[in-house]
Amino acid sequence: MTNIIDLSIREKVYKKKKTQLSILNNFKLEVKAGEKIAIVGESGVGKSSLLNIIGLLDTDYSGEYTLFGSLTDNLHASELAQWRNQKVGFVLQESALIDSLTIEENIKLPLFYAGTEKNFFEPEYFENVINAIEIKSILKKKPLECSGGEKSRAVFARGIIMKPQIILSDEPTASLDVENRERIINLLFKMNEEFKTTIITVTHDLEVANRHDKVVHLERSK
Ligand SMILES: Nc1ncnc2c1ncn2[C@@H]1O[C@H](COP(=O)(O)OP(=O)(O)O)[C@@H](O)[C@H]1O
Ligand SMILES: [Mg+2]
């Protein structure tokens, strides 16, 4: 089977005022379609930075990245934007909901960005997602009327509404109780089983990590 992700980073540099920080030195990652990968490593090692690179949010690093068989250097900005919207689903820690929109509107936002020329909305799939993570009762509410767990689930639903080929989750269960944690993990794995979605999960939780096909340990550069 060919790789869906073939990433080789020489380094990622964050420039600060006087110093610079170099992370992800000589890091390589190969992922096959439909694989479930967990990424673990201590805080500050570069897990979130790595997800940003995998998800095409950050292209400022040295290295080579082939995604879906195309060298990402050769992609136009419009293609990158389209892939981010349609092929890669993000469930990121910091991705907040928009307070002025209802939960349903928030979840459907990526459909709106995708434009109207194609009909991306699949009512049946939407129903499935909503039922699986049990948020039907809060669809008409605004984020400020929801609990933390409900908001996390809504962020998750928004991340997968485009039925992406890859789901990138940054500690999706960090602030959740056991029940909500199981809902999210079960839905991730259900996406993997039903649609062969490739799953890449950053997690501190070793029990969650070990339920993936492979665990990648990120280590600090020497
Ligand atoms: N935008 C940024 N500018 C400067 N430094 C950053 C930036 N984002 C992250 N860093 C630094 O890069 C390192 C890796 O960060 P991050 O990828 O968030 O690690 P992790 O997710 O593993 O905790 C940390 O030392 C962090 O402070
Ligand atoms: Mg992080």
Alpha-carbon span 129 to 161, nearest angstrom:
8
Confidence of residue 208 (pLDDT cuts 50, 70, 90): very high
126 alpha carbon to ligand 1 midpoint, in Å?
A: 34
Q: Is the CB of 24 under 6 A from ligand 1?
A: no
Mean of pLDDT values over 115-131: 79
Does any ligand 1 atom lie closer than 6 A to the CB of residue 143? no
3-state secondary structure the chain: CCEEEEEEEEEEEEECCCCEEEECCCEEEEEECCCEEEEECCCCCCHHHHHHHHCCCCCCCEEEEEECCEEHHHCCHHHHHHHHHHCEEEECCCCCCCCCCCHHHHHHHHHHHCCCCCCCCCHHHHHHHHHHCCCHHHCCCCHHHCCHHHHHHHHHHHHHCCCCCEEEEECCCCCCCHHHHHHHHHHHHHHHHHHCCEEEEECCCHHHHCCCCEEEECCCCC
Note the Cα 213 to chain centre separation in Å.
17
Question: Is the beta carbon of 146 within 6 A of some atom in ligand 1?
Answer: no
Ligand 1: residue of 23, 40, 42, 220 to mutate (most ligand atoms within 8 A of CB) is 23
Query: What pLDDT is stored for residue 22 in this prediction?
Result: 94
Counting residues of the chain whose pLDDT is more than 90, the rounded percentage is 59
Q: Is the CB of 23 under 6 A from ligand 1?
A: yes
| Ion ligand 2: residues, Cβ under 5 Å | 47-48
Check whether 120 has a pLDDT greater than 80.
Answer: no
Output the CA torsion sign for 147, 103, 198, 200. Answer: negative
The response to whether residue 52 sits with its C-beta less than 6 Å from ligand 1 reads no
Amino acid at 6: D
Which of the two residues, 13 and 156, has the higher pLDDT score? 13
Atom of ligand 1 nearest to the CA of 16: 4
56 C-beta neighbours (distance < 10 Å), count: 18
Q: Which atom of ligand 1 is nearest to the CA of 50?
A: 17
Question: According to the model, what pLDDT value does residue 179 have?
Answer: 84
pLDDT at residue number 121: 79
Among the bound ligands, the one closest to the CA of 40:
1
Give Rg (Cα) of the chain: 17
Instruction: Count CA within 13 A, CB hemisphere, residue 72.
Output: 27
What's the pLDDT at 214? 97
In this predicted structure, what is the pLDDT of residue 5? 97
> Amino acid identity, residue 92?
L
Q: How far is the CA of 38 from the centre of ligand 2 (A)?
A: 13
Taking the model in full, what pTM does it have? 0.91
- CA of 51, closest atom in ligand 1: 17
Q: Which ligand is nearest to the CA of 50?
A: 1
Residue nearest ligand 1's atom 17 by CA? 46
Is 48 touching ligand 1 by the criterion CB < 6 Å?
yes
The single-letter code of the amino acid at 155 is V
pLDDT single digits (tens) 155-188: 989 988 888 999 999 988 887 888 888 888 888 9
Averaged pLDDT of the chain: 90
**pLDDT tens digit sequence for 47-99:** 999 999 999 999 999 999 999 999 999 999 999 988 988 899 888 766 689 99
Say which residue the tokens 């909901």 belong to: 97
Q: How many CB atoms lie within 10 A of CB 81?
A: 13
What is the mean pLDDT of the segment spanning 40-47?
Answer: 95
